[in-house]
Amino acid sequence: MSRPTPPRILCINPGSTSTKIAVFDGGSALFSEEVRHPKEELAVCRGAQGQLALRRAAVSEALERHGCGPARLDAVAGRGGLLAPLPGGVYGVGARMLGELAANLHGEHPCNLGAPLALCFAQAAGCPAYVVDPPVTDELRDIARVTGLPRIRRRTVFHALSQRMAARLAAERLGLQYEQAKFVVAHLGGGVSVGAHDCGQVVDVTNGLDGEGPMSAERAGTLPALVLVEMVRDGADPDALRREILTHGGLYAHAGTNDLRVVEQRFRAGDESAGKLIQILAYNVAKAVGGMAAALFEATDARLDAVVLTGGMARSELLVGAITRRVRFLAPVLVMPQVDEMQALAKGAELALAGKVPVLDYNG
């Protein structure tokens, strides 16, 4: 049954280095802002779960600043966390989901806070809490799961919400149906993921949380496996090494900052090493794009329709230009830094409230 008034939906997206907060009313944003969390502030929290109070306070303060109290909310949509592999869609926040996220059962990342944050504010408003298109959305072909060790299988963890919306917008711009097109989509943010979208399915994708793919603002990306084995053998603490790979690698390891804008400012001020670092980042992304292009030709010989670049770092003309020069031979390059994950969260919740999509149960 349709609701008598346009729904008001709070959307919460905890990322590696920031919390995005927005309130939508009937599809229009009443406000949308990104609260950045300095690396030093997050370090005190000792892991993603320790950041819950910090992130909750950021949401509360944003709502207060914009005069959006919980009384009028019809739903709260949070970014999906690291759960067991599941189909894309809208999921109700429940006890099993919350328990697995709190235990970091399937991996640790601040996105695990999306569901508990959504429930916190939904309970205050007396409305439902959802997650939409979680990052563990799994549509891999079987051939993409196999590694050189039979007991190790690849899994998907990626920016599903951002990638899917960017691909749909790219199809619209080109006059195509997403379900009939081929795209390679690179999300360039605190983390980087590069996916092969084949006729509406993400058939392969780099998994930065398992150490795959390009370096990013703070992730090391693919590293020589045996070197890591030797480091552990020589006494490196595995937990500390994991944190270094996932949160202190990439730009942060080389430049002491995870903010590409700072690196660009240094380059424009004459720091040649900063310029070289931007080229290294672009080189890594371009290699992943080329690999995912090859993954698209499993079933048909239809051409690649576009390479799509999205995410916060896609606002950088220097980075985008360097990537484009390396991949433009594959297909046209579309740059979409404006893709709004928050609007995608709101749309999913709105469809669920209207009964146009089912609200799925998470069963682990």
* Cα torsion 265, 211, 364, 97: sign: negative
User: E strands of 234-330, at which residues?
Assistant: 306-310
Residue 253, pLDDT above cutoff 60? yes
pTM equals: 0.81
Beta bridge partners of 33: 21
- Mapped onto helix, strand or coil, the DSSP state of residue 194 is strand
pLDDT number for residue 309: 98
- How much is the average pLDDT of 140-150? 96
Q: What is the pLDDT of residues 304-329, one digit of tens each?
A: 999 999 998 999 999 999 999 999 99
pLDDT number for residue 3: 47
Cα–Cα distance measured from residue 149 to residue 163, given in angstroms and rounded to the nearest whole number: 29
CA angle 48, 34, 102 (to 5 degrees): 20
Q: Which of 185, 168, 216 is nearest to 289 (CA)?
A: 185
Cα–Cα distance measured from residue 228 to residue 241, given in angstroms and rounded to the nearest whole number: 9
* Cα torsion 231, 147, 199, 138: sign: negative
Residue 39, pLDDT above cutoff 80? no
- How much is the average pLDDT of 14-37? 90
Q: What is the pLDDT of residues 81-97, one digit of tens each?
A: 999 999 888 999 999 99
Q: What is the pLDDT of residues 260-301, one digit of tens each?
A: 999 999 999 999 999 999 999 999 999 999 999 999 987 677
Residues near 268 by beta carbon (within 8 Å), at least 6 away in sequence: none
pLDDT number for residue 121: 96
| Range with lowest mean pLDDT among 72-81, 128-137, 296-305 | 296-305
For the chain, counts of helices (H) and of strands (E): 13, 12
- How much is the average pLDDT of 143-164? 93
- How much is the average pLDDT of 173-195? 95
Polymer length in residues for the chain: 364
The most distant pair of C-alpha atoms in the chain lies apart, rounded to whole Å, by: 65
pLDDT number for residue 2: 45
Find the Cα–Cα–Cα–Cα dihedral 356, 70, 5, 118, rounded to 10°. -10
Residue 4 pLDDT grade (very low, low, confident, very high; cuts 50, 70, 90): low
| Tokens describing residue 142 | 């079987």
Domains delineated in the chain? 8-136+341-360 (3.30.420.40), 142-331 (3.30.420.40)
| Tokens describing residue 364 | 């682990």
Cα–Cα distance measured from residue 79 to residue 119, given in angstroms and rounded to the nearest whole number: 12
- How much is the average pLDDT of 203-225? 95
What is the amino acid identity at position 304?
A: L
- How much is the average pLDDT of 239-267? 95
Cα 239 to Cα 19, 42, 51, 66, 190, distances in angstroms: 25, 17, 18, 40, 20
Residues near 290 by beta carbon (within 8 Å), at least 6 away in sequence: 327, 330
pLDDT averaged over every residue in the chain: 92
pLDDT number for residue 1: 40
pLDDT number for residue 237: 97
Residue 70, pLDDT above cutoff 60? yes
Cα–Cα distance measured from residue 117 to residue 162, given in angstroms and rounded to the nearest whole number: 20
- How much is the average pLDDT of 160-188? 93
Residue 144 pLDDT grade (very low, low, confident, very high; cuts 50, 70, 90): very high
